[in-house]
Amino acid sequence: MLNRRKFVQASFLSSAALFFNKTIIAAGSSDFIKNNPIVLSTWGDNVKANAEAWKILSSSGRALDAVEAGVQIPEADPADQSVGYGGLPDRDGKVTLDACIMDENANCGAVMFLENIMHPIKVARLVMEKTPHVQLAGEGALQFALANGFKKENLLTPESEKAWKDWLKTSNYDPTTTPKLLEQKNVPGQQNNHDTIGMIALDAAGNLSGACTTSGLAFKMRGRVGDSPIIGAGLYVDNEVGAATSTGVGEEVIRICGSHTVVELMRQGMSPELACKRTVERMIKKRGSKIKELQVGFIALNTKGEFGSYALQKGFTYAVQSKAGVKVYNSKSIY
Ligand code: SD4
Protein backbone atom coordinates (compact mmCIF):
# COMPACT_ATOMS: atom_id res chain seq x y z
CA MET A 1 0.00 0.00 0.00
CA LEU A 2 1.23 3.49 -0.79
CA ASN A 3 1.37 5.80 2.19
CA ARG A 4 0.53 9.47 1.60
CA ARG A 5 4.14 10.61 1.32
CA LYS A 6 4.95 7.92 -1.21
CA PHE A 7 1.72 8.65 -3.10
CA VAL A 8 2.50 12.37 -3.32
CA GLN A 9 6.03 11.49 -4.40
CA ALA A 10 4.73 9.03 -7.00
CA SER A 11 2.18 11.47 -8.43
CA PHE A 12 4.81 14.21 -8.61
CA LEU A 13 7.07 11.84 -10.50
CA SER A 14 4.25 10.85 -12.89
CA SER A 15 3.34 14.44 -13.66
CA ALA A 16 6.99 15.41 -13.96
CA ALA A 17 7.46 12.48 -16.31
CA LEU A 18 4.52 13.62 -18.41
CA PHE A 19 5.76 17.17 -18.36
CA PHE A 20 9.31 16.31 -19.34
CA ASN A 21 8.18 13.40 -21.50
CA LYS A 22 10.47 11.05 -19.63
CA THR A 23 10.07 7.55 -18.27
CA ILE A 24 9.79 6.61 -14.63
CA ILE A 25 11.76 3.54 -13.74
CA ALA A 26 11.08 1.75 -10.47
CA ALA A 27 14.44 1.07 -8.91
CA GLY A 28 13.91 -0.91 -5.75
CA SER A 29 12.34 1.24 -3.09
CA SER A 30 13.08 4.64 -4.63
CA ASP A 31 11.75 5.85 -7.94
CA PHE A 32 13.74 8.06 -10.24
CA ILE A 33 13.22 9.68 -13.59
CA LYS A 34 15.20 8.19 -16.40
CA ASN A 35 15.61 10.09 -19.64
CA ASN A 36 15.43 7.15 -21.99
CA PRO A 37 15.56 6.21 -24.74
CA ILE A 38 18.10 8.76 -25.90
CA VAL A 39 20.85 8.89 -28.51
CA LEU A 40 23.68 11.36 -29.03
CA SER A 41 26.33 11.73 -31.70
CA THR A 42 29.43 13.81 -32.22
CA TRP A 43 28.79 16.74 -34.62
CA GLY A 44 25.50 18.48 -35.23
CA ASP A 45 25.24 17.18 -38.79
CA ASN A 46 24.65 13.74 -37.38
CA VAL A 47 21.01 14.49 -36.55
CA LYS A 48 20.32 12.27 -39.59
CA ALA A 49 22.25 9.41 -38.05
CA ASN A 50 20.41 9.90 -34.75
CA ALA A 51 17.08 9.82 -36.60
CA GLU A 52 17.97 6.39 -37.99
CA ALA A 53 18.94 5.15 -34.53
CA TRP A 54 15.76 6.66 -33.12
CA LYS A 55 13.59 4.45 -35.36
CA ILE A 56 14.92 1.49 -33.38
CA LEU A 57 15.09 3.15 -29.96
CA SER A 58 11.56 4.55 -30.16
CA SER A 59 10.13 1.12 -30.90
CA SER A 60 11.79 -0.39 -27.82
CA GLY A 61 14.73 -1.75 -29.81
CA ARG A 62 18.19 -2.41 -28.47
CA ALA A 63 20.74 0.40 -28.16
CA LEU A 64 23.29 -1.84 -29.88
CA ASP A 65 21.10 -2.21 -32.99
CA ALA A 66 20.32 1.51 -32.91
CA VAL A 67 23.93 2.70 -32.90
CA GLU A 68 24.92 0.17 -35.55
CA ALA A 69 22.11 1.39 -37.83
CA GLY A 70 22.65 5.08 -37.02
CA VAL A 71 26.30 5.34 -37.91
CA GLN A 72 25.71 3.66 -41.26
CA ILE A 73 24.10 6.90 -42.46
CA PRO A 74 27.37 8.88 -42.62
CA GLU A 75 29.28 5.74 -43.63
CA ALA A 76 27.22 5.59 -46.84
CA ASP A 77 27.12 9.36 -47.43
CA PRO A 78 29.64 10.44 -50.09
CA ALA A 79 29.33 14.07 -48.95
CA ASP A 80 30.75 13.17 -45.54
CA GLN A 81 34.50 13.27 -46.10
CA SER A 82 35.43 11.96 -42.67
CA VAL A 83 33.54 8.67 -42.56
CA GLY A 84 33.22 5.64 -44.86
CA TYR A 85 32.37 6.17 -48.54
CA GLY A 86 33.80 9.52 -49.69
CA GLY A 87 36.24 9.72 -46.78
CA LEU A 88 39.45 11.64 -47.44
CA PRO A 89 42.23 9.14 -48.21
CA ASP A 90 45.63 8.59 -46.64
CA ARG A 91 48.70 10.19 -48.19
CA ASP A 92 48.90 7.35 -50.74
CA GLY A 93 45.37 8.09 -51.94
CA LYS A 94 43.72 5.09 -50.24
CA VAL A 95 40.60 5.36 -48.08
CA THR A 96 41.23 3.35 -44.91
CA LEU A 97 38.54 2.91 -42.30
CA ASP A 98 38.45 2.42 -38.52
CA ALA A 99 35.36 1.45 -36.49
CA CYS A 100 34.31 -0.11 -33.22
CA ILE A 101 31.16 -1.05 -31.35
CA MET A 102 30.45 -1.94 -27.70
CA ASP A 103 27.36 -3.20 -25.89
CA GLU A 104 25.97 -3.26 -22.35
CA ASN A 105 27.78 -6.48 -21.46
CA ALA A 106 31.28 -5.28 -22.38
CA ASN A 107 31.10 -7.20 -25.63
CA CYS A 108 33.06 -5.27 -28.22
CA GLY A 109 34.47 -5.51 -31.71
CA ALA A 110 36.64 -3.37 -33.95
CA VAL A 111 38.19 -3.13 -37.38
CA MET A 112 41.02 -0.85 -38.34
CA PHE A 113 42.98 0.00 -41.48
CA LEU A 114 40.16 -1.65 -43.44
CA GLU A 115 39.82 -0.81 -47.14
CA ASN A 116 37.04 -1.09 -49.73
CA ILE A 117 34.20 -1.94 -47.35
CA MET A 118 31.36 0.56 -47.17
CA HIS A 119 30.16 -0.33 -43.66
CA PRO A 120 33.07 -1.06 -41.33
CA ILE A 121 30.73 -0.85 -38.34
CA LYS A 122 28.89 -3.96 -39.54
CA VAL A 123 32.19 -5.81 -39.79
CA ALA A 124 33.12 -4.61 -36.28
CA ARG A 125 29.87 -6.05 -34.95
CA LEU A 126 30.60 -9.37 -36.65
CA VAL A 127 34.09 -9.41 -35.12
CA MET A 128 32.35 -8.99 -31.77
CA GLU A 129 29.74 -11.67 -32.38
CA LYS A 130 31.49 -14.26 -34.54
CA THR A 131 35.11 -14.32 -33.42
CA PRO A 132 36.94 -14.86 -30.12
CA HIS A 133 38.76 -11.56 -30.78
CA VAL A 134 38.07 -7.86 -30.32
CA GLN A 135 40.11 -6.28 -33.14
CA LEU A 136 40.94 -7.22 -36.72
CA ALA A 137 43.21 -5.04 -38.85
CA GLY A 138 44.00 -4.45 -42.51
CA GLU A 139 44.17 -7.44 -44.82
CA GLY A 140 42.84 -9.81 -42.14
CA ALA A 141 39.85 -7.58 -41.48
CA LEU A 142 39.15 -7.42 -45.21
CA GLN A 143 39.40 -11.21 -45.59
CA PHE A 144 37.00 -11.63 -42.68
CA ALA A 145 34.55 -9.16 -44.23
CA LEU A 146 34.66 -10.87 -47.63
CA ALA A 147 34.22 -14.29 -46.02
CA ASN A 148 31.08 -12.92 -44.39
CA GLY A 149 29.47 -11.75 -47.59
CA PHE A 150 30.65 -8.12 -47.79
CA LYS A 151 31.53 -6.82 -51.27
CA LYS A 152 34.60 -4.79 -52.19
CA GLU A 153 33.74 -1.26 -53.31
CA ASN A 154 35.72 1.76 -54.41
CA LEU A 155 35.26 4.30 -51.62
CA LEU A 156 37.30 7.13 -53.15
CA THR A 157 34.91 9.66 -54.67
CA PRO A 158 36.06 12.14 -57.35
CA GLU A 159 35.75 14.96 -54.77
CA SER A 160 37.99 13.22 -52.25
CA GLU A 161 40.45 12.25 -54.98
CA LYS A 162 40.63 15.88 -56.04
CA ALA A 163 41.21 17.01 -52.44
CA TRP A 164 44.03 14.48 -52.18
CA LYS A 165 45.61 15.63 -55.46
CA ASP A 166 45.43 19.23 -54.25
CA TRP A 167 47.07 18.19 -51.01
CA LEU A 168 49.83 16.36 -52.92
CA LYS A 169 50.99 19.69 -54.34
CA THR A 170 52.41 20.57 -50.93
CA SER A 171 52.19 17.19 -49.16
CA ASN A 172 52.27 19.12 -45.93
CA TYR A 173 50.81 16.93 -43.23
CA ASP A 174 49.33 18.87 -40.39
CA PRO A 175 46.83 17.25 -38.03
CA THR A 176 45.35 20.63 -37.23
CA THR A 177 43.92 20.62 -40.74
CA THR A 178 41.00 18.33 -39.84
CA PRO A 179 37.97 19.48 -41.78
CA LYS A 180 36.21 21.05 -38.79
CA LEU A 181 39.26 23.07 -37.86
CA LEU A 182 39.63 24.24 -41.45
CA GLU A 183 36.01 25.30 -41.27
CA GLN A 184 36.67 27.25 -38.09
CA LYS A 185 39.68 28.85 -39.68
CA ASN A 186 37.51 29.75 -42.68
CA VAL A 187 39.55 27.83 -45.21
CA PRO A 188 37.52 27.96 -48.43
CA GLY A 189 36.04 24.76 -49.82
CA GLN A 190 35.88 22.96 -46.48
CA GLN A 191 32.66 24.39 -45.15
CA ASN A 192 30.47 21.37 -45.75
CA ASN A 193 32.58 18.74 -44.14
CA HIS A 194 31.41 16.60 -41.27
CA ASP A 195 33.66 14.65 -38.93
CA THR A 196 34.06 11.24 -37.30
CA ILE A 197 30.85 9.92 -35.82
CA GLY A 198 30.80 8.59 -32.28
CA MET A 199 27.29 7.60 -31.22
CA ILE A 200 26.13 6.52 -27.76
CA ALA A 201 22.61 5.48 -26.79
CA LEU A 202 20.48 4.38 -23.85
CA ASP A 203 17.52 2.20 -24.81
CA ALA A 204 14.06 1.77 -23.32
CA ALA A 205 15.28 -1.21 -21.30
CA GLY A 206 17.96 0.99 -19.72
CA ASN A 207 20.91 -0.50 -21.58
CA LEU A 208 23.77 1.47 -23.11
CA SER A 209 25.75 0.86 -26.30
CA GLY A 210 28.05 2.85 -28.55
CA ALA A 211 29.61 2.89 -32.01
CA CYS A 212 32.37 4.94 -33.57
CA THR A 213 33.40 5.02 -37.25
CA THR A 214 35.77 7.14 -39.32
CA SER A 215 38.10 7.37 -42.27
CA GLY A 216 40.58 8.89 -39.82
CA LEU A 217 42.67 11.97 -40.27
CA ALA A 218 42.95 13.09 -43.88
CA PHE A 219 46.27 12.35 -45.64
CA LYS A 220 47.59 10.36 -42.69
CA MET A 221 50.57 8.03 -43.09
CA ARG A 222 49.71 4.70 -44.61
CA GLY A 223 48.79 2.25 -41.85
CA ARG A 224 48.02 4.95 -39.30
CA VAL A 225 45.22 4.04 -36.90
CA GLY A 226 43.60 6.62 -34.64
CA ASP A 227 41.51 6.44 -31.50
CA SER A 228 38.18 5.68 -33.15
CA PRO A 229 38.46 1.85 -33.34
CA ILE A 230 40.19 1.51 -29.98
CA ILE A 231 37.96 0.48 -27.11
CA GLY A 232 38.69 2.81 -24.19
CA ALA A 233 40.09 5.55 -26.45
CA GLY A 234 37.47 6.45 -29.08
CA LEU A 235 34.59 4.70 -27.31
CA TYR A 236 33.77 3.15 -23.97
CA VAL A 237 30.56 1.78 -22.48
CA ASP A 238 29.96 0.56 -18.93
CA ASN A 239 26.33 -0.26 -18.26
CA GLU A 240 26.72 0.51 -14.54
CA VAL A 241 27.99 4.03 -15.21
CA GLY A 242 27.66 5.46 -18.70
CA ALA A 243 29.22 5.76 -22.13
CA ALA A 244 31.57 8.18 -23.85
CA THR A 245 33.02 8.72 -27.31
CA SER A 246 35.42 11.14 -28.95
CA THR A 247 36.32 13.00 -32.11
CA GLY A 248 39.40 14.94 -33.12
CA VAL A 249 43.10 14.14 -33.20
CA GLY A 250 43.14 10.50 -32.15
CA GLU A 251 46.76 10.39 -31.01
CA GLU A 252 45.89 12.76 -28.17
CA VAL A 253 42.85 10.72 -27.16
CA ILE A 254 44.81 7.45 -27.13
CA ARG A 255 47.50 8.89 -24.83
CA ILE A 256 45.01 9.34 -22.00
CA CYS A 257 42.58 6.47 -22.82
CA GLY A 258 40.08 9.28 -23.32
CA SER A 259 36.64 7.68 -23.40
CA HIS A 260 37.49 5.25 -20.61
CA THR A 261 38.72 8.15 -18.53
CA VAL A 262 35.42 10.00 -19.03
CA VAL A 263 33.46 6.93 -17.91
CA GLU A 264 35.68 6.39 -14.87
CA LEU A 265 35.22 10.02 -13.82
CA MET A 266 31.44 9.60 -14.12
CA ARG A 267 31.81 6.50 -11.91
CA GLN A 268 33.33 8.79 -9.28
CA GLY A 269 30.13 10.84 -9.35
CA MET A 270 30.87 13.54 -11.90
CA SER A 271 28.23 14.72 -14.33
CA PRO A 272 28.85 13.82 -17.99
CA GLU A 273 29.92 17.38 -18.79
CA LEU A 274 32.30 17.66 -15.85
CA ALA A 275 33.81 14.25 -16.64
CA CYS A 276 34.45 15.37 -20.24
CA LYS A 277 35.92 18.67 -19.01
CA ARG A 278 38.29 16.99 -16.54
CA THR A 279 39.42 14.61 -19.28
CA VAL A 280 40.20 17.46 -21.66
CA GLU A 281 42.04 19.25 -18.83
CA ARG A 282 44.12 16.13 -18.26
CA MET A 283 45.20 16.23 -21.90
CA ILE A 284 46.30 19.82 -21.47
CA LYS A 285 48.15 19.02 -18.24
CA LYS A 286 50.12 16.28 -20.00
CA ARG A 287 50.72 18.00 -23.33
CA GLY A 288 50.44 21.71 -22.71
CA SER A 289 51.20 23.92 -25.67
CA LYS A 290 51.67 20.93 -28.01
CA ILE A 291 47.91 20.57 -28.27
CA LYS A 292 46.92 24.22 -28.25
CA GLU A 293 46.05 24.16 -31.95
CA LEU A 294 44.44 20.71 -32.00
CA GLN A 295 40.81 19.73 -31.65
CA VAL A 296 39.44 16.93 -29.49
CA GLY A 297 35.85 16.67 -28.31
CA PHE A 298 34.12 14.18 -26.01
CA ILE A 299 30.44 13.44 -25.50
CA ALA A 300 29.11 11.39 -22.61
CA LEU A 301 25.86 9.86 -21.37
CA ASN A 302 25.13 8.31 -17.99
CA THR A 303 22.71 5.57 -16.97
CA LYS A 304 20.02 8.13 -16.10
CA GLY A 305 20.15 9.60 -19.59
CA GLU A 306 21.96 12.77 -18.50
CA PHE A 307 24.47 13.90 -21.09
CA GLY A 308 27.19 16.47 -21.75
CA SER A 309 30.35 17.29 -23.65
CA TYR A 310 33.60 19.22 -23.64
CA ALA A 311 36.19 20.09 -26.29
CA LEU A 312 39.61 21.63 -26.61
CA GLN A 313 38.54 24.22 -29.20
CA LYS A 314 35.37 26.14 -29.96
CA GLY A 315 33.21 24.83 -32.77
CA PHE A 316 32.51 21.29 -31.58
CA THR A 317 28.81 20.45 -31.80
CA TYR A 318 26.81 17.35 -30.99
CA ALA A 319 23.34 16.08 -31.82
CA VAL A 320 20.82 14.62 -29.38
CA GLN A 321 17.50 12.88 -29.94
CA SER A 322 15.10 11.79 -27.19
CA LYS A 323 11.37 11.89 -26.52
CA ALA A 324 11.89 15.61 -25.93
CA GLY A 325 12.85 16.00 -29.60
CA VAL A 326 15.93 16.72 -31.70
CA LYS A 327 18.56 19.19 -30.63
CA VAL A 328 22.05 20.29 -31.63
CA TYR A 329 24.29 21.62 -28.85
CA ASN A 330 27.39 23.77 -29.05
CA SER A 331 29.94 22.20 -26.79
CA LYS A 332 31.78 24.20 -24.19
CA SER A 333 35.52 24.27 -24.72
CA ILE A 334 38.79 25.19 -23.04
CA TYR A 335 40.13 27.54 -25.73
C1 SD4 B 1 41.14 9.87 -35.80
N2 SD4 B 1 39.54 10.68 -34.20
O3 SD4 B 1 41.35 9.06 -36.69
C4 SD4 B 1 39.75 10.37 -35.60
C5 SD4 B 1 39.53 11.51 -36.54
C6 SD4 B 1 38.48 12.50 -36.18
O7 SD4 B 1 37.64 14.54 -36.38
O8 SD4 B 1 37.72 12.35 -35.26
N9 SD4 B 1 38.44 13.60 -36.82
O10 SD4 B 1 42.04 10.33 -35.09
The pLDDT assigned to 4 comes to 42
Identify residue 241 by its one-letter amino acid code: V
Q: Is residue 261 annotated as part of the catalytic site, yes or no?
A: no
**pLDDT confidence of residue 204:** 97
| Positions in the chain whose pLDDT score sits under 70 | 1-33, 175-194
CB 247 near ligand 1, within 6 Å: yes
pLDDT on residue 172: 79
Rounded to the nearest angstrom, the distance between the alpha carbon of 321 and the centre of ligand 1 is 23
* C-alpha 253 to ligand 1 mean position (Å): 9
pLDDT at 171: 85
User: What pTM value is reported for the model?
Assistant: 0.88
Catalytic residue selected from 42, 96, 157, 196: 196
pLDDT at 176: 60
Which atom of ligand 1 is found nearest the CA of 179?
7
Ligand 1 in reach of 74 Cβ (< 6 A): no
pLDDT at site 26:
39
Query: CB within 8 A of 192, min separation 6: which ones?
Result: 79
Q: Crossing angle of helices 120-130/63-70, nearest 10°?
A: 150
Instruction: Answer yes or no: are the C-beta atoms of 332 and 317 closer than 8 Å.
Output: no
Predicted pLDDT of residue 2: 39
pLDDT at 185: 45
Q: Is 213 in the pocket of ligand 1 (CB under 6 A)?
A: no
pLDDT tens track for 177-191: 554 444 444 443 333
Residues 6+ apart with CB under 8 A from 198: 41, 42, 210, 211, 212, 228, 234, 235, 245, 246, 247, 299
225 CA: nearest ligand 1 atom: 3
- List domains and CATH numbers for the chain: 29-330 (3.60.20.30)
| 275: Cβ contacts below 8 Å, ≥ 6 apart | 244, 262, 263, 265, 266, 300, 308
Report the 3 state secondary structure along the chain: CCCHHHHHHHHHHHHHHHHHCCEEEEECCEEEEECCCEEEEECHHHHHHHHHHHHHHCCCCCHHHHHHHHCHHHHHCCCCCCCCCCCCCCCCCCCEEEEEEECCCCCEEEEEEEECCCCHHHHHHHHHHHCCCCEEEHHHHHHHHHHCCCCCCCCCCHHHHHHHHHHHCCCCCCHHHCHHHHHHCCCCCCCCCCCCEEEEEECCCCCEEEEEEECCCCCCCCCCCCCCCCECCCEEEECCCEEEEEEECHHHHHHCCHHHHHHHHHHCCCCHHHHHHHHHHHHHHHHHHHHCCCCEEEEEEECCCCEEEEECCCCCEEEEEECCEEEEEECCECC
